[in-house]
Structure 1
Amino acid sequence: MPLNYHHLRYFWAVAHDGNLTRTAQRLNLSQSALSVQIKQLEERLGHDLFERRGRQLHLTEAGRITLDHADAIFSAGQELVATLQETGRSRQALRIGALATLSRNFQISFLRPILQRPDVEVILRSGSPAELLEGLQTLNLDVVLMNREPASDSLTPYETHHIAEQAVGIVGTPGRLQPDRPFVELLETQPFILPTAENSMRTAFDALASRLGVRPQVVAEVDDMAMMRLLAREDIGLALVPPIVVQDELKSGRLVEASEHPRIREAFYAITLRRRFPNPLVQELLASTPDPALAG
């Protein structure tokens, strides 16, 4: 028996409202009729989708899964209408996913060509790589910004655009870091504040240390550049960061940068999914992106 999408839409509306009475009034239905529609959906799926706590409806685990699918289904329907009916659209939406730890400077640089446009609404979401790539596959996101390339195969036809990169340096307080000391000596004698293992900068740093035959002391592993900046200011160790992250501290002299760079660069990628009707705003942004050498 096929799924009744009218039932699914009623469930979707109630799930987002969180109130059966309010949804019934908005849809111009009786509360009992709306309850019957949702009950029939529950019978078809074989699971309760809501549980009542006082006067409020709360999603069950099955309800949350159903809502995730309903969001994807109805979002795809809205995209279909928006894509194939160009007339009458006053504003275009661009849904962007960005890695939660990604450089804010880079994000602004990428989005700057459309940020001031009155006909564009930017919807920016952050998350983990798995969450963002799932958003691409369900068409809830038009483009994902990351600092590493995702794994791709014939079942997940990602298009990976290398759009920028920036140098990575070693910074620390003046009392800890003598800028002209050789990089190997810093590795051998100083504690380090490093990105977490899944970060591409960390991968390159570990490989470099291994080639040099040094096992540096890691005093902190952090997945947020702002926190790495603060820890470096607290003088608990030397930090592996792009200098732009600590540009204010470098200008003020609160932090200094090692003269010998580790020759590591952080790359930035825009990930899209092959689609028959791609969002034209994504194409505009990719076309306006300069050669992958912008810092920030």
Structure 2
Amino acid sequence: MNLKHLYYFWKTAKSGGVVRAGEALHVTPQTISTQIRLLEESLDTQLFARDGRALELTPAGQVALEYADEMFSLSAELEEALRHYPKGRPMEFRVGVSDAVPKSLAYRLLRPAVDPADPVRIICREARLERLLSELAIHKLDLVIADSPVPPSVDVRAYNHRLGASGLSFIAARSLLALHPGALADGGDFPACVGRLPLLLPGEGSAIRRCLVDWLDRQRLRPRIVGEFDDTALMTAFGRAGVGMFAVPTVIEAETLASGDVQLLGRAEDVNLEYFAISVERRLTHPCVLAISNAAREGLES
């Protein structure tokens, strides 16, 4: 099959006719028509149903268009991937991090992309997922790190690459527990103790909040909510100050407890917090993204 003929067919189907396709390709409509006819003859299949000057895809043409979309999309991805290998200057890696992803976890995921032996200039943006996806769609970002896949309400063609999952750990400052000596009755009967302490919640719209609220409902627990935070680092700071207990992904539990001013109440191991790398590529090709994906498989799931 002649790929040039297929390309002309694809352009015609996407443009809505041979005239517009010819204008886009800077060739005459007759040239376009000839190329499509040669393609149909080589395949012994009619791809367009002709009604005067109007063209409509036949069922076979619909199938051909779907394959052509994939082929030329991969071609564009290949070109973009090769452009990521500039010579004479560091590679630039532009990544957006959803504000719902804990900073320490974001660092853990992004650290493998920075290799001292192969200098990379990393540019990080933090915002709500919807804004980051809009920047990804116009190629202002190479990747978005998020705690949820692309929402159905967002009209962006992007692909979700699952990095891993984590349970949920409940943590409280020792100063908070001193103010509520009865909270850890019976040796700290988790999860019942969660209902006896004030709670700090992640911001609305975050996956960790949805999972946390669902878990509380299943456990029939109604702790008193004393704060809500879009920024997880700020929530953790208030938690360390003893304002309320808080929940973090179990994967960063150890580093959260390392300071010694907080202690673990228990783990909700039936909670499944997932993390995703979102890109416009169906197949990951950017070397920084591949490094993140490979390291996450080994570290995030462990």
Name the TM-score, length of structure 1 as normaliser.
0.61
Kindly report which structure 2 residues correspond to 1:134-283, keeping only aligned pairs within 5 A, or say none.
Answer: 134-152=134-152, 156-174=156-174, 175=178, 176=180, 178=184, 180-242=187-249, 247=254, 250-261=257-268, 263-274=270-281, 280-283=286-289
Tell me which residue corresponds to 1:94: 93
Q: Structure 2 vs 1, CA of residues 262 and 202 (structure 1 numbering), >3 Å: closer, same or farther? A: farther
Q: Structure 2 vs 1, CA of residues 113 and 238 (structure 1 numbering), >3 Å: closer, same or farther? A: closer
Tell me which residue corresponds to 1:125: 125
* Alpha-carbon distance between aligned partners in 1 of 2:209 and 2:84, rounded to the nearest angstrom: 46
* Alpha-carbon distance between aligned partners in 1 of 2:81 and 2:276, rounded to the nearest angstrom: 27
* Alpha-carbon distance between aligned partners in 2 of 1:154 and 1:131, rounded to the nearest angstrom: 10
Q: CA deviation at 1:275?
A: 7.0
* Alpha-carbon distance between aligned partners in 2 of 1:265 and 1:275, rounded to the nearest angstrom: 24
| Matched AA of 1:171 | I
Checking the alignment, whether the CA contact within 8 Å between 2:113 and 2:292 is kept in structure 1 is no
Checking the alignment, whether the CA contact within 8 Å between 1:172 and 1:257 is kept in structure 2 is yes
Name the SS of the counterpart of 1:193 in structure 2: strand
The 10-residue stretch of structure 1 (103-112 or 229-238) with the greater mean CA deviation from structure 2: 103-112
Tell me which structure has the larger Cα radius of gyration. 2
Q: CA deviation at 1:196?
A: 1.6
Structure 1 unaligned segments of length 5 or more: list them. Answer: 1-78
Q: Structure 2 vs 1, CA of residues 251 and 268 (structure 1 numbering), >3 Å: closer, same or farther? A: same
| Matched AA of 1:173 | A
Q: CA deviation at 1:119?
A: 4.2
**RMSD of the alignment, in Å?**
3.5
Checking the alignment, whether the CA contact within 8 Å between 2:96 and 2:145 is kept in structure 1 is yes
Q: Structure 2 vs 1, CA of residues 267 and 92 (structure 1 numbering), >3 Å: closer, same or farther? A: same
Aligned residues: 217
Checking the alignment, whether the CA contact within 8 Å between 1:162 and 1:292 is kept in structure 2 is no
Kindly report which structure 2 residues correspond to 1:16-35, keeping only aligned pairs within 5 A, or say none.
Answer: none
Name the TM-score, length of structure 2 as normaliser.
0.60
Q: Structure 2 vs 1, CA of residues 178 and 187 (structure 1 numbering), >3 Å: closer, same or farther? A: closer
* Alpha-carbon distance between aligned partners in 2 of 1:81 and 1:184, rounded to the nearest angstrom: 50
Q: Structure 2 vs 1, CA of residues 154 and 261 (structure 1 numbering), >3 Å: closer, same or farther? A: closer
Structure 2 unaligned segments of length 5 or more: list them. Answer: 1-77
* Alpha-carbon distance between aligned partners in 2 of 1:249 and 1:283, rounded to the nearest angstrom: 26
Q: CA deviation at 1:289?
A: 2.9
Name the SS of the counterpart of 1:168 in structure 2: strand
Q: CA deviation at 1:134?
A: 0.5
Name the SS of the counterpart of 2:188 in structure 1: coil
Q: CA deviation at 1:211?
A: 2.0
| Matched AA of 1:280 | H
| Matched AA of 1:164 | G
Q: CA deviation at 1:130?
A: 1.6
Tell me which residue corresponds to 2:300: 294
